[in-house]
């Protein structure tokens, strides 16, 4: 244990990360990023998120092979959990389990970029301010984009509304049609339960300029960083097959069509979330429901 700690403190995090994930480092080392991605910052924080991914949330991933190793694609998922840990878990899956590891560029809300200190961290770990221009630029760069069309409404959902997806903002469909980029729906189970939110104090949130102000088991009661500790819920993430929207570019302006397609993706994700919920045996164990076996009649 002592040697592990001393190694963590003395070794260069990038060198440690490169030993474990050489192809990822090779892919991004020495490349300038217009949005401020920093491989060394990512390597510094990766062990914490890998611990959450492998040991704490014990994330089960299904369908990782559906994400292409190269070229632009748009991941679209259900958002939950107050902090965007769902995005971090998918990033970890892409880093550690994909045959051709690559980064995910999440389009993050403006609010993150107004917070001094945090805004640099958000940018350096790969997130990009959500805007049409930035999304187009990322597609031009052939990046893997992550979008949560529920936005901050999704993460600020109270516990009683868990796993009920809110209406998807159709911007991601417009983007996919306009650029001919495939959409990859992602269903996540577990995120809604890591920080059970009892009430969202909307008026107070508006007063202090936050997207929401949750009352949870730990926030705002416990001191920093105790309120950040999530419940050790087991997660399941299902990555669906890519959807290629074969429509002419002009169809991106057809509001009715765009809304209809956004709803279809939303229902597909909701359906899978419902199935995963039904098959889940327990909140804190990753086991599926065990089929009852008839007792052996031979004895």
What residues line the site for other proteins (CB under 8 A)? 204, 207-209, 213, 219-224, 226-227
Burial class (CB in 10 A: 0-12, 13-18, 19+), 13: middle
Q: Decide whether 199 or 277 has the Cβ nearer to other proteins.
A: 199
Q: Decide whether 159 or 219 has the Cβ nearer to other proteins.
A: 219
Six-digit token string for 175: 């983007």
CB of 112 to other proteins, least distance (A): 15
Q: Decide whether 99 or 223 has the Cβ nearer to other proteins.
A: 223
CB of 120 to other proteins, least distance (A): 18
Return the DSSP state at 100.
S
Q: Decide whether 99 or 209 has the Cβ nearer to other proteins.
A: 209
CB of 205 to other proteins, least distance (A): 10
Q: Decide whether 218 or 274 has the Cβ nearer to other proteins.
A: 218
- Closest CA relative to residue 240, chosen from 278, 272, 201, 198: 272
Q: Which single residue is written with the structure tokens 């990009």?
A: 128
CB of 220 to other proteins, least distance (A): 4
Q: Decide whether 223 or 295 has the Cβ nearer to other proteins.
A: 223
CB of 38 to other proteins, least distance (A): 25
CB of 169 to other proteins, least distance (A): 28
Return the DSSP state at 224.
T
89 contacts 73 by C-beta, under 8 angstroms: no
238 contacts 89 by C-beta, under 8 angstroms: no
Strand partners, 277: none
- Closest CA relative to residue 33, chosen from 131, 123, 113: 123
d(CA 88, CA 75): 13
CB of 213 to other proteins, least distance (A): 8
Return the DSSP state at 138.
H
Q: Decide whether 111 or 267 has the Cβ nearer to other proteins.
A: 111
Q: Decide whether 77 or 196 has the Cβ nearer to other proteins.
A: 196
- What residue spans of the chain are helical by DSSP H? 2-10, 13-20, 22-28, 39-51, 85-96, 118-124, 132-140, 151-155, 171-179, 202-208, 255-279
CB of 249 to other proteins, least distance (A): 45
Give the C-alpha distances (Å, rounded to integers) separating 159 from 10, 187, 195, 214, 216: 42, 18, 8, 10, 9
């Amino acid at each position: 244990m002592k040697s592990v700690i001393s190694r963590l403190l003395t070794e260069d995090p990038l060198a440690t990360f490169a030993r474990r994930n050489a192809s990822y480092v090779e892919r991004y080392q020495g490349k300038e990023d217009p949005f401020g991605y920093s491989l060394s910052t990512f390597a510094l924080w990766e062990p914490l998120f890998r611990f959450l991914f492998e040991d704490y949330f014990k994330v089960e991933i299904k369908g990782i092979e559906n994400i292409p190793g190269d070229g632009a694609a748009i991941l679209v998922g259900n958002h939950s959990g107050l902090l965007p840990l769902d995005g971090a878990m998918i990033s970890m899956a892409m880093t550690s389990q994909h045959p051709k590891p690559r980064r995910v560029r999440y389009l993050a809300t403006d609010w993150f970029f107004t917070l001094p200190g945090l805004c640099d961290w958000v940018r350096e770990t790969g997130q990009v301010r959500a805007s049409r221009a930035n999304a187009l630029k990322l597609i031009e760069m052939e990046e893997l984009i992550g979008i949560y069309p529920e936005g901050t409404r999704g993460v600020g959902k109270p516990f009683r509304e868990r796993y009920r997806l809110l209406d998807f903002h159709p911007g991601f469909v417009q983007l996919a049609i306009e650029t001919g980029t495939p959409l990859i729906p992602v269903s996540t189970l577990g995120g809604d339960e890591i920080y059970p939110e009892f009430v969202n104090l909307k008026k107070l949130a508006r007063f202090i300029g936050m997207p929401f102000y949750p009352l949870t088991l730990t926030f705002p009661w416990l001191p920093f960083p105790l309120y950040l500790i999530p419940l050790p819920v087991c997660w399941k993430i299902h990555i669906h097959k890519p959807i290629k929207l074969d429509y002419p570019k002009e169809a991106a302006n057809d509001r009715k069509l765009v809304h209809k397609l956004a709803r279809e993706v939303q229902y597909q994700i909701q359906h899978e979330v419902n199935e995963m919920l039904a098959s889940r045996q327990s909140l804190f164990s990753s086991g599926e429901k065990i089929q009852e076996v008839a007792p052996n009649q031979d004895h």
